[in-house]
């Protein structure tokens, strides 16, 4: 069905593989369009509660397809960048958690895609970097901004000025990655996390994603008001009633997502 991505469904967990392994899954416009199309399809159905992004072969995604840059006009380049920006916004607005399972290289646009996910888990051999300055370019898919918001300007500038990659352990120390798995185990670690998320009320999980992201862009009083409104909304949900009832009856809850 898709040319550059592959989807595997495991119950309510969907795994999206970037699937151009002979190019280390480098991104072209088709990758972005197919990712966007898939995100739209899951938003419109209840079949997927958690989405995992990972890469086929030895890379997560090694950045934009540099071969395409040889012939691109400025208009084509700008359109490609706008497309990437809109797909990453779509990821952030998706009312489902997205986990990046970084199995190898996450460079340039690949790192930027991971940074637009809600959680990043990585294999110990994963590499993260924004090497665009080596091509006399800049990260144009949010790298200069999203990375800086996580690690601060000194670390972000060092990474972007030098173009050097960091390994998974360093990414963990910098709060980019929440867990480091053994080589070949990033996807399993992401699935284990997804299964934990699925035991909880999905309304609450989706609300948490929205208010954490929106709250980061707001003043603290505004963000705290968002939080208060969200908790009040959840307080009258079927899921909250079931969660409390199940706790009292000492049984696992059966959430309906309402
Ligand atoms: N765009 C297009 N092709 C890419 C690519 C990219 N971003 N990254 C890797 N490839 C291709 C290579 O050209 C090579 O193709 P070939 O087998 O036809 O020669 C293949 O993927 C394997 O890559 P290779 O460089 O041989 O693997 P390696 O293990 O020696 O090095 C990297 C891996 C990731 C360090 C290296 O491929 C690299 O630096 N890639 C570019 C990263 C980058 O600058 N990304 C930002 C782009 S804006």
| pLDDT tens digit sequence for 56-111 | 999 999 999 999 999 999 999 999 999 999 999 999 999 999 999 999 999 999 99
The closest-lying atom of ligand 1 relative to the alpha carbon of residue 131 is 44
CA distance 216 to 103: 28
Helix or strand holding residue 206 (H, E): helix 202-216
Residue-level pLDDT at 103: 98
> pLDDT for 221-257, tens place per residue?
999 999 999 999 999 999 999 999 999 999 999 999 8
Identify the pLDDT of residue 177: 98
What is the average pLDDT across 25-35?
98
In short, whether 23's Cβ falls inside 6 Å of ligand 1 is: yes
Q: What does the pLDDT read at residue 152?
A: 98
Dist. CA 62 → ligand 1 center (Å)? 7
- Do residues 111 and 146 lie in contact, with contact meaning Cβ atoms separated by under 8 Å? no
Report the DSSP beta bridge partners of residue 47: none
Active site residue 132: yes
Q: Is 3 a catalytic residue?
A: no
Burial (CB count within 10 angstroms: exposed 0-12, middle 13-18, buried 19+), residue 179: middle
Q: Yes or no: say if 243 and 201 are a contact pair by the CB < 8 Å rule.
A: yes
Separation CA 230–CA 6 (nearest Å): 35
pLDDT in tens, 115-158: 999 999 999 999 999 999 999 999 999 999 999 999 999 999 99
Atom 14 (ligand 1) nearest CA: 23
Cα 111 from Cα 208, distance rounded (Å)? 23
How confident is the model over 153-205, as pLDDT tens digits?
A: 999 999 999 999 999 999 999 999 999 999 999 999 999 999 999 999 999 99
Helix (H, G, I), strand (E, B) or coil at 18: strand
| Mean of pLDDT over the chain | 97
Q: Does ligand 1 lie within 6 Å of residue 34's CB atom?
A: no
Torsion of CA 179, 99, 160, 215, to 10 degrees: -100
CA atoms of 217 and 170, how far apart (whole Å): 26
Are 16 and 51 in contact by the 8 Å Cβ rule? The answer is yes
Percent of the chain with pLDDT over 90: 98
Cβ of 132 below 6 Å from ligand 1:
yes
Single out the catalytic residue among 8, 34, 43, 112. Answer: 112
């Amino acid at each position: 069905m898709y040319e550059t991505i592959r989807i595997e469904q495991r119950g309510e967990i969907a795994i999206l593989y970037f699937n151009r392994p002979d190019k280390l899954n480098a991104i072209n416009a088709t990758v972005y369009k197919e990712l966007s199309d898939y995100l739209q399809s899951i938003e419109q159905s209840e079949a997927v509660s958690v989405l995992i992004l990972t890469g086929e072969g030895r890379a997560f995604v090694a950045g934009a397809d540099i071969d395409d840059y040889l012939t691109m006009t400025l208009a084509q380049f700008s359109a490609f960048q706008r497309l990437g920006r809109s797909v990453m916004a779509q990821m952030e607005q998706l009312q489902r958690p997205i986990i990046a399972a970084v199995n190898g290289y996450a460079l340039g646009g690949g790192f930027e895609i991971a940074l637009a996910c809600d959680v990043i888990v990585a294999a110990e051999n994963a590499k993260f970097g924004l090497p665009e300055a080596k091509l006399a370019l800049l990260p144009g898919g949010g790298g200069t901004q999203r990375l800086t918001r996580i690690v601060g300007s000194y670390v972000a500038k060092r990474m972007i000025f030098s173009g050097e990659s960091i390994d998974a352990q360093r990414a963990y120390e910098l709060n980019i990655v929440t867990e480091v798995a053994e080589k070949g185990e990033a996807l399993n670690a992401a699935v284990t996390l997804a299964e934990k998320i699925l035991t909880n009320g999905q309304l609450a999980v989706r609300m948490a994603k929205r208010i954490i992201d929106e709250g980061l862009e707001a003043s603290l009083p505004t963000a705290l008001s968002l939080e208060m409104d969200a908790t009040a909304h959840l307080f009258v949900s079927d899921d909250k009633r079931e969660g409390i009832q199940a706790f009292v009856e000492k049984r696992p809850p059966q959430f309906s997502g309402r």
